Structure 1
Amino acid sequence: MKNNSRKLLSVAIAAATFTSAAAWAQPEGEVEEVVTIGSRSEGRSVTQSMAPIDVISSESLTSRGDGDMANILRSAIPSYNVNDQPISDAATVVRPANLRGLAPDQTLVMVNGKRRHRAAVISFLGGGLSDGAQGADISVIPAAALKQVEVLRDGAAAQYGSDAIAGVINFVLNDAAEGGSAEVKLGSTYEGDGNFYTLSLNNGFALGPNGFANLTLEYGEKDPTSRSVQRADAAGLIAGGNTAVANPAQVWGQPETRGDLKVFLNTGIDTGNGNEVYAFGNYARRTVEGGFYFRNPTNRGGIYSNDGGATDLIGDLTGNMSGNCAGLTHAQAQGNPDCYSFTEMFPGGFTPSFGADVVDLAGVVGFRGELPSGINYDVSYGAGYNEAAFFISNTVNPSLGPNTPTDFKPGTYIQVENTFNVDLNKTMGDFNVAGGFEWHEETFEAKIGDIASWESGPLTDQGFGIGSNGFQGFGPQVAGKWSRENYAVYGDVEWTPIDALTLGAALRYEDFDSFGSTSNWKLSGRYDFNESLAIRATASTGFRAPTPGQANVVNTTTASVSDGMGGQKLVDQGTIAPTTAMLINSTAEVLQPEESENISVGLVAQLGMFDITADVYRIDVTDRIALTDNFDVTPADRQILLDNGVPGAEGLASYRFFANDFDTQTTGLDVVVSTSLFDERGDLSLVYNYNETEVVGGSLSADRERQLEENLPKQRANLSYRHMISDSFYAMARVNYYSSVWEAHLDDATLPIDIDSAFTMDAELGYNVSDSLAIIGGVANLTDEAPDNPWADIAGAQYAVTSPYGFQGGSYYVRVRYDF
């Protein structure tokens, strides 16, 4: 762990903050708000729901030191986990997150109750659990734009369609027609790196006499961090006299984020007689750039040596293989006009920088209201677009020899979605009856990269690698556009035969043009014994359809693997389409949807001054879609892949593909306790989650199974307290608990790390200068916790990189907020 004196200082700061300040905001936990998910009956609150729902208030969302929505939810919802992704290819650009221990794309994301489009990024490296996932990018949503966040912790595919296996997260936009706020946030880490700033503005406007427009603008930037030590191989090179090796040769830390712009607009106009026209949407862009693995100048395959360093790889530039270069070393080749060694360009080796320019935009328009017959209607159309244009620098296309550029644009991923909805419901006596129709189109596109990033140069036949090393460009064989359409019809009934009992049933039929149809159902019930105690339960089936990207994407990436002698080596790993994999692997099949069964039972109680909910659940998922384990490429496999135009096949050490590969069973418990203290001047909340996933069938390796089962904490809890002492000061203190996890460092089970359970602490202190102006300061991870890495010298990571509470250590921030 980190420096003890710093810990003692942080604890002292926390104690001073906690005892000398006052609270000025709403409780951390549930608030008594009407929610829009989980039921199609209007006016349902959290405490009346038949399924567990969290509501996170706007005050709680903005009272965080981090502007990344994924990090905000991690500290607010114990069953929600997101890890740092320092060297994870595209997963560094859009970090995968997990609700209830399931994959990122097994949680449905909505905005104002409408399905949110996916990110274009597919997480090829996702720490085991998230490998191959393609979820939504929630980092583009600014906290200042939100009225609240609703988290339905229950299976809901029968209500909302594909992906709602772990639950639903609905972001409800601010609909205020007047007033607003402006805020400046500055911060840094204890180490003095990772400096960031965020500027945000929210303003509500009237649109005529009966309408509103609420606009949010946010802009920020974040510097990179480094939690690195020198790699052993790089240190050996320096000790041997190579002065061109960087120190550290490889950086582990958060990536740099530049030009992070987020714009959200929410509008509505009352057209009379209870009818409304509405529209909302967003535009966002940012540039994210991080690092890759160090390329050792003595042994990196395809560049410096193809036999682990025993023989130097020297290129013959004569074009006729004159033989002048045979047997030369790197040193001997330098200065010879017929021969080429990449030590002339990168004598100390090199570490590529990788990132993407991300653009995200979406829009929804619709109208809703009540027909003369008493039927409530909502008709809407929405479109979403996400683009990740990749770039990589400080690297080479080895096959081009001395003519290679060092900066490449290897291509672009684009995700486009269109959705049309008709939702109807009507209350008839003790019944609320709902039904509707949805049409959804999803398109994934891989756009070709610049020629140098994928072309085969003149040194290809001499054993030099093809394409931009580290992230090969998308050539003509990779580029393409793939679409899928589906439509759904659903019915939903809620019945309240007596005041104490509510029963619900939902049925949804969905047809996909790629694999056929699926039907799913849900049953719900709640019984109130009295005003202080109720029981609730749900049972449902669900599904997640494979995305067009998962069914068709081709990618080559570089991974660090064991060399069998206690060290590591870099190899090229290929992800190929399932249909291509069928040519060389008898286990490969056309992708089918995942299927799930979800059961939950819970209690809602008010015991004196305490409000308590406790829900147990079980989620069985069969035919889960993920990237398979890696298969070695045999000479016969390689020839078949080359014959079928798979790019980079000549240099692949292994391949994998998407498959319905395994089954899991997840069991858990959620507990939420909240109360008010000191004449309601203090608000205390405890949120606890126990979650355990077991692989119960499939073809995964034992190491991959262990990653799925043990790389997320089985227990998490947040204890939060806010206290109001005067009108001028407030204080917040939050203690977070994470149970132990197991890390396969570098995705290599021969490098295990047992990350102990840990407590972290956050605190915030605010001062109201006036009714409109407030100054707030806070610290996240007060005690500077970061788990040690016993394998730090192998690849240079100072701390365990998949820690559930991160490895950056403590940070602090200052916010200045003006309300108008």
Structure 2
Amino acid sequence: MKENKKRWLAACGAPSLLAMAVAAVSSPAVAEDALLEEVITIGTRVEGRSATDSSAPIDIVTGDEFVNQGDGDLNNLLRNVVPSYNVNAKPISDAASIVRPANLRGLPPDSTLVLVNGKRRHRASVIAFLGSGVSDGAQGPDISAIPAIALKQVEVLRDGAAAQYGSDAIAGVINFQLKDAAEGGTVEVKHATTAEGDGDQSMVAANFGLPLTDSGFVNFSMEYREQDSTSRSTQRDDAAQLIADGNTHVANPAQIWGQPEVDDDTKFFINSAIELNDTVELYAFGNYASRSTDGGFYFRNPENRDGVFTYKDEVDTNGDGVPDKEVVLPLIGDLDPSNGIDNCQNVSVSEAHDLDECFSFTEMFPGGFTPRFGGDLEDYSMVFGLRGELANGIGYDVSASRGQNKVDFHIYNTINATMGPNTPTSFSPGGYAQTETNFNIDLTKATEISGKALYMAGGFEWREEEFEVNMGDEASWTQGPLTEQEFLIGSNGFSGFGPEVIGTFDRDNIALYTDFELEATDNLRLGTALRWEDFSDFGSTFNYKVSGHWAINDVIALRSTYSTGFRAPTPAQSNISNVTTAFADSQLENKGTIPPTNPVAVLKGGKQLQPEESKNFTIGAIIAAGDWDITLDYFQISVSDRITQSADQELSEAEKAQLVADGISGADSLTSIRFYTNDFDTKTRGIDVVATYPLGDATDLSFAANWTDTEVTKYREETISDMRLGQLEDGLPNIRGNATISHAGEGWRGLVRLNYYGSYWEAHLDDYSLPIDAGDEWTVDIEGAYDFSDSLSLIAGAENLFNNYPDKNPWSGVAGAEYPETAPMGFNGALYYVRAQYEF
């Protein structure tokens, strides 16, 4: 209580202290026409800076660049135009299929801070337990809840910015700026399909602005989208063998690899502001989004799925009375335990079908079964603020926001094996909710020192994060009557959340920052930022940033930054419990995630999580040579004590019993557990190149490329496996790039984009014995538009025009995936689309 009181006293006094600090540095000799600089751009507190004026590399992507594509998921749209941004399909990845993890500059999704109109956006409730190594255990934001038609432009700051914006800004910052027109609008209708004739996407979107009195605006955006599933699957070898052996109940293919089905993908955004007088503006914006995702899971083989159809036992094969061989035996349940539970032990599967007392799940699923898994997502946010200028020239921006992302999971075509023949086949395992509340005060001031322009800023932030685990239906976690007979507890594939593990876990923090930019000479700009934050769970951090921009002449300018940063562990990472089914050692295994402070985790090295710490360095050049505009930037990001899931830790029977007692449904079936830990250090280096050149009055050439290399510099062999090392260092392509030619003619326009995806390495199914060395790939996108009038246009195009696919998966027979699941270009082939646009 005393510590909290001290933190609140500091928080309450912060605004007045910052105001006094800014006023004290302000000189009364400032010219009367000194401008009030509002915090409206990324990477700087100074209004009006362009990307080439910035000391840090920034990509500017216009709203049209997002809309003029075939896909409807904002993650894919961003990947197509920003080479350092990677996201893949996640066909069978547990909850990561619902909110796909994306990677900026080779780092996990929660190392990138996402802003909307310059305000922090809440993270998603989904944790990527199966994140292909790079994103394992990450909890990043869900940008797919943002409709592309709502965007005026997007700024991607490719630089560490924790000293400016706080936690998560290690890899960079993405700021989505909403449209703010007070009149006019656009309506779009789009349909897309793959060359295979599946994966149809249909979308209707609209944006329009209205005046809000004579001094304001309100701008509305909405989008409705449906996406069909795809299948790029082959028949599994084991399923094919079952069919060859005469089992006519096995599906072909037994397991589906493809993009999930997305239904009722609905998105709304509103952006508004009104001037109350000449110096004060009231603003508000927010969103609501919902969708339902349904995807595939792993096939349960009726001849070897332990805990459902079979169990393992050791037998004596040489007659010496000592068991010397492990065998797989049918698991037959005794439905009448009143006379003991051994009566069905030696009964065959066929005999069990004829006995009322004995039960085999082959009666319900003679060909095995493949669960379907997904979730219903809801996302909302609201931001209110007041900004303006005081009489002494100090600008202010006071805002409050609240956002929530909630997912309710569903799984069907599966069972709770302990319930025997009385099990339902559809479950609601529960869900997660992430809620964040922010309060910010930002102050700015433009002044002079010795005739040199000085821009100052200071601010205060209070933030609270809440992570809630909601209970599943009882059948998804209960221990049924067959529990003591080696049947698995909980909904198979994704166990439900029982009463012992549900709850709300929260944390709050306060922050103070200062930011200065000095025009040292006509050609040299220097900047510095300092930030202190204090968290209720692990304590405080202090970070800084220095930057410079030197215009050598009219042709070339140099820029550089150096900063320290941090990423705080989320309340979810510190407290989550989960059981999921994953592939390991060529078979399905139940793997658990438990809190690092759980006694079982502590025995294996778990402890209270601490923030990651980073050091970020960039140096680059801005070149204007003739008609060429070129930026070339080198970056290096060193991250220590990275938070991740540990390697799999084997469990003793006593430890399993302890986890069951702790209320973790299905813990008795676990082969291993993981927990979050500050575990290893990495160094990520890279080069970004962006160039534009006008080929004529109406034709432009643009080029963007990224090279990124990550090295794990320190780790513990006990918790980081060779497989995970390979995923971290080689799981994403080192080189990505694209070149675009666009032309705008009289009444028509067109573009052609050439995309390059470098080679990468995949541990297929997260199994080190199934390596894939996938080669590089080229794809071509094309789009053409014809204007029937000033208002109506018809657009047609193709992504991956020539229907190129990644290299074939050499292990496709293991689980049926025809292509590598982590292919950075996707594995659906060509996407052809047509859309109509009406502007008014």
Q: Work out whether the TM-score is over 0.5.
A: yes
Residue 237 of structure 1 is matched in structure 2 by: 242
Tell whether the 8 Å contact from 1:625 to 1:658 is kept in structure 2 after alignment. yes
Q: CA deviation at 1:59?
A: 1.0
CA pair 581-168 structure 1, distance change in 2 beyond 3 A: farther
Q: CA deviation at 1:648?
A: 1.8
Residue 112 of structure 1 is matched in structure 2 by: 117
Which deviations, in whole Å up to 9, do the C-alpha atoms of 1:584-626 show, x marking residues without a partner? Answer: 5342111000000000001011001100000101000000001
- 2:554 pairs with one of 514, 531, 543: 531
Q: CA deviation at 1:581?
A: 5.2
Residue 434 of structure 1 is matched in structure 2 by: 457
Residue 650 of structure 2 is matched in structure 1 by: 632
Q: Given the alignment of the two structures, is residue 692 of structure 1 paired with residue 690 of structure 2, yes or no?
A: no
- 1:382 pairs with one of 401, 405, 420: 401
Q: CA deviation at 1:178?
A: 0.2
Residue 48 of structure 1 is matched in structure 2 by: 53
Q: CA deviation at 1:632?
A: 1.3
Tell whether the 8 Å contact from 2:594 to 2:601 is kept in structure 1 after alignment. no
Residue 828 of structure 2 is matched in structure 1 by: 808
Distance 1:316 1:60 in 2: 63
Specify the code of the residue in structure 1 equivalent to 2:682.
Answer: T
Which deviations, in whole Å up to 9, do the C-alpha atoms of 1:309-332 show, x marking residues without a partner? Answer: 731100101122264312112111
Q: CA deviation at 1:582?
A: 5.3
Residue 363 of structure 1 is matched in structure 2 by: 382
RCO higher in 1 or 2 (8 Å CA, sep ≥ 6)? 1
- 1:619 pairs with one of 632, 637, 645: 637
Q: Given the alignment of the two structures, is residue 398 of structure 1 paired with residue 417 of structure 2, yes or no?
A: yes
- 1:710 pairs with one of 730, 738, 741: 730
Distance 2:686 2:477 in 1: 47
Which deviations, in whole Å up to 9, do the C-alpha atoms of 1:57-101 show, x marking residues without a partner? Answer: 111110111111100110110000001100000000000000000
What are the residue-to-residue correspondences of 1:152-551 with 2, within 5 Å?
A: 152-307=157-312, 310-320=328-338, 321=340, 323-429=342-448, 430-551=453-574
CA pair 322-697 structure 1, distance change in 2 beyond 3 A: closer
CA pair 583-250 structure 1, distance change in 2 beyond 3 A: closer
Residue 39 of structure 1 is matched in structure 2 by: 44
Look up the SS of the partner of 1:530 in the other structure.
coil
Distance 1:691 1:547 in 2: 27
Tell whether the 8 Å contact from 2:600 to 2:655 is kept in structure 1 after alignment. no
Q: CA deviation at 1:802?
A: 0.6
Specify the code of the residue in structure 2 equivalent to 1:543.
Answer: F
CA pair 705-395 structure 1, distance change in 2 beyond 3 A: same
Residue 621 of structure 2 is matched in structure 1 by: 603
Q: Which moved more, 1:127-136 or 1:780-789?
A: 780-789
Q: CA deviation at 1:298?
A: 1.0
Distance 1:330 1:137 in 2: 47
Q: Given the alignment of the two structures, is residue 592 of structure 1 paired with residue 610 of structure 2, yes or no?
A: yes
Q: Please report the TM-score for the alignment, with normalisation by the length of structure 2.
A: 0.92
Tell whether the 8 Å contact from 2:40 to 2:118 is kept in structure 1 after alignment. no
Q: Given the alignment of the two structures, is residue 681 of structure 1 paired with residue 698 of structure 2, yes or no?
A: yes
Structural RMSD (CA): 1.1
Look up the SS of the partner of 2:817 in the other structure.
coil
Q: CA deviation at 1:583?
A: 5.0
Look up the SS of the partner of 1:597 in the other structure.
strand
- 1:669 pairs with one of 687, 710, 714: 687
Q: Please report the TM-score for the alignment, with normalisation by the length of structure 1.
A: 0.94
CA pair 672-397 structure 1, distance change in 2 beyond 3 A: same
Specify the code of the residue in structure 2 equivalent to 1:723.
Answer: H
Residue 16 of structure 1 is matched in structure 2 by: none
Look up the SS of the partner of 1:59 in the other structure.
helix
Q: Given the alignment of the two structures, is residue 127 of structure 1 paired with residue 132 of structure 2, yes or no?
A: yes
Specify the code of the residue in structure 2 equivalent to 1:689.
Answer: N
What are the residue-to-residue correspondences of 1:718-737 with 2, within 5 Å?
A: 718-724=738-744, 726-737=745-756
Tell whether the 8 Å contact from 2:549 to 2:560 is kept in structure 1 after alignment. yes
Distance 2:566 2:599 in 1: 24
Tell whether the 8 Å contact from 2:748 to 2:786 is kept in structure 1 after alignment. yes
Look up the SS of the partner of 1:334 in the other structure.
helix
Which deviations, in whole Å up to 9, do the C-alpha atoms of 1:556-584 show, x marking residues without a partner? Answer: 0001111xxxxx21110000000115555
- 1:89 pairs with one of 87, 94, 101: 94
Distance 1:645 1:316 in 2: 25
Specify the code of the residue in structure 2 equivalent to 1:263.
Answer: F
Q: Kindly tell me the number of residue pairs found equivalent between the two proteins.
A: 780
Q: Which moved more, 1:600-609 or 1:328-337?
A: 328-337
Which deviations, in whole Å up to 9, do the C-alpha atoms of 1:320-354 show, x marking residues without a partner? Answer: 22643121121110021111110111110000000
Distance 1:748 1:89 in 2: 16
**Identity within the alignment, %:** 54
Specify the code of the residue in structure 2 equivalent to 1:431.
Answer: L
Q: Which moved more, 1:53-62 or 1:305-314?
A: 305-314
Which deviations, in whole Å up to 9, do the C-alpha atoms of 1:406-457 show, x marking residues without a partner? Answer: 0000001000000000000000021111001000000000000000000000
Which deviations, in whole Å up to 9, do the C-alpha atoms of 1:763-805 show, x marking residues without a partner? Answer: 0011111111110001111122222101111100011111110
Distance 1:808 1:233 in 2: 25
Look up the SS of the partner of 1:43 in the other structure.
coil
Distance 1:330 1:415 in 2: 46
Which deviations, in whole Å up to 9, do the C-alpha atoms of 1:135-191 show, x marking residues without a partner? Answer: 000001011001000000000000000000000000000000000000000010010
Tell whether the 8 Å contact from 1:410 to 1:448 is kept in structure 2 after alignment. yes
Residue 751 of structure 1 is matched in structure 2 by: 770
Q: CA deviation at 1:366?
A: 0.3
Q: Which moved more, 1:580-589 or 1:92-101?
A: 580-589
Look up the SS of the partner of 2:552 in the other structure.
strand
Which deviations, in whole Å up to 9, do the C-alpha atoms of 1:725-767 show, x marking residues without a partner? Answer: x312211100111111011100111111111011111000111
Q: CA deviation at 1:642?
A: 3.2
Specify the code of the residue in structure 1 equivalent to 2:685.
Answer: T
Residue 29 of structure 1 is matched in structure 2 by: none
Specify the code of the residue in structure 2 equivalent to 1:487.
Answer: I
Tell whether the 8 Å contact from 1:353 to 1:394 is kept in structure 2 after alignment. yes
Distance 1:569 1:605 in 2: 55
Specify the code of the residue in structure 2 equivalent to 1:367.
Answer: L
Distance 1:546 1:812 in 2: 42
Look up the SS of the partner of 2:597 in the other structure.
helix
Which stretches in structure 2 are left out of the alignment for 5+ residues?
1-38, 313-325
Distance 1:381 1:819 in 2: 34
